[in-house]
Amino acid sequence: MSTRHIAIAIGVAVVMAVLAVVLGRYGAYLVNAVAIAAIGALSLNLLIGYCGQISFAQGALLGVGAYTAGNLGNAGLDGAVAILGAGVLGALVSALIGLPAMRLRGLYFAIATLAAQAILEYLFKILDPLTNGVSGLVIKPPSIFGIPMTSDESLVLPSLVLLVIAWLVVSRLLRTDLGRAFLVVRESEIVAKGMGIDVGHTKLWAFLIGGFIAGMAGALIGFANRLASPEAFTLDLSADYIAMIIIGGLGTWPGPIIGAAFVVLLPEVIQRVGEAAGISDILSALRELAFGLLIILFLIFEPRGLTALLSRIKLRRIGVVPPAGLRATGEGSQSPEGRSR
């Protein structure tokens, strides 16, 4: 975490806050949605982009956060306590999801997370006293530090504050031994082991930290929607988050935020265009298709996502043409052969 990172993170948050104020209620709703999605994407980027553990259970993990915060908030606790509680439970559940990673690698582990997603979805439906079954848990508007959160406008501030904290925590983390160990585990577990890195221990920490951030993001989703229901936290949501980090740029610093903004705002844009042209029914069906297509295109042409795309455009504008095959990758690092994984 450098001073530049701090300045950029705060700058982005300030711009988003100004947009929320200027654009009114709908703008505040969008800013809030982007900020929360960005926190969730940061957590998944930590796990997939930096530590190389592919998880399809992010949707359910966000659900755990939403249900936990909802129950704690409904019980009369302050929203801040509820968010922290959601983080703690998110971390614990995430560590459980990560347990198979001690034995399984790559795709095999990814399939295990698919099972975890299915089990959690099922639990949301049957744990009636905590989740209110299929009809969903109605969440009362909480107060955060005594300030009532009755609208999207009021939630923007806590969401943006958490976004900045999560963003900077993740970037600081990567400058510690643990963060460097994540990167080695991602490249090769055999190399990591040979270098004396405790691979299981490293993965466990990735799941704990990622889960904590995801739990807090889930809490904010619950507070924003005022409802936590099983159909809100399905595999579709997991897929959205994977789309965010791939489109934004796997394992890049600004990727999760760019990707979250893109994935949250694209459907809104499609909707507006559709309404203007009078074909909104057809276009809204195109949403899933558009994301699927984008993921494939990015994986083929720019595995480092929009982040790499943007920095290439920037380099070209200031007159530096990167040599063929050497792509600038956002954070001052270069990977000559791209990221062929």
Partner 1 sequence: MALTASDVTIHFGGVVAVNGMALDVMPGEIVGLIGPNGAGKTTFINCLSGTYRPNTGTALWQGDELIGLSPSALLRKGVARTFQNVASLHDLTVLDIAKLGAGVRRDRRTGGHLLDFFRSDRALEELLMESILAPLELNDVAHKPIQTLSYGRRKAVDLARALAGDPQLLLLDEPVAGLTSHEGMAMAAAVRDVRDRHGCAVIMVEHKMDVVMSTCDRVAVMAAGSKIFEGRPAEVQADPEVRRVYLGEP
Residues that bind partner 1 (CB under 8 A): 172-173, 175-178, 180-181, 183-184, 187-188, 191, 193-198, 201, 205, 251, 331, 333-336, 339
Nearest distance, CB of residue 208 and partner 1, angstroms:
10
Q: Which is nearer to partner 1, 141 or 338 (CB)?
A: 338
Q: Which is nearer to partner 1, 201 or 316 (CB)?
A: 201
DSSP class per residue in 157-222: HHHHHHHHHHHHHHHHHTTSHHHHHHHHHHH-HHHHHHTT--HHHHHHHHHHHHHHHHHHHHHHHH
Paired tokens of 20: 């929320």
Q: Which is nearer to partner 1, 28 or 192 (CB)?
A: 192
Nearest distance, CB of residue 298 and partner 1, angstroms:
18
What residues contact 184, with CB distance under 8 A and at least 6 apart? 191, 192, 195, 197
Nearest distance, CB of residue 11 and partner 1, angstroms:
23
Q: Which is nearer to partner 1, 117 or 329 (CB)?
A: 329
Other beta carbons within 10 Å of 268: 13
Q: Which is nearer to partner 1, 198 or 268 (CB)?
A: 198
Paired tokens of 15: 């711009």
Cα(15)–Cα(9) distance, rounded to whole angstroms?
Answer: 10
Q: Which is nearer to partner 1, 278 or 325 (CB)?
A: 325
End-to-end CA distance of the chain: 27
Nearest distance, CB of residue 126 and partner 1, angstroms:
35
Nearest distance, CB of residue 101 and partner 1, angstroms:
18
Q: Which is nearer to partner 1, 106 or 194 (CB)?
A: 194
Torsion of Cα atoms, 63 then 65 then 67 then 73, to 10°: -150
Nearest distance, CB of residue 196 and partner 1, angstroms:
4
Other beta carbons within 10 Å of 276: 9
Q: Which is nearer to partner 1, 177 or 281 (CB)?
A: 177
CA angle 286, 115, 215 (to 5 degrees): 75
Name beta bridge partners: 320: none
Q: What is the 3-state secondary structure (H, E, C) of 71-116?
A: HHHHCCCCHHHHHHHHHHHHHHHHHHHHHHHHCCCHHHHHHHHHHH
DSSP class per residue in 253-270: SSHHHHHHHHHHHHHHHH
Q: Which is nearer to partner 1, 185 or 283 (CB)?
A: 185
Among the listed residues 264, 256, 250, the one whose alpha carbon sits nearest the alpha carbon of residue 299: 250
Nearest distance, CB of residue 333 and partner 1, angstroms:
5
Nearest distance, CB of residue 156 and partner 1, angstroms:
28
Nearest distance, CB of residue 280 and partner 1, angstroms:
42
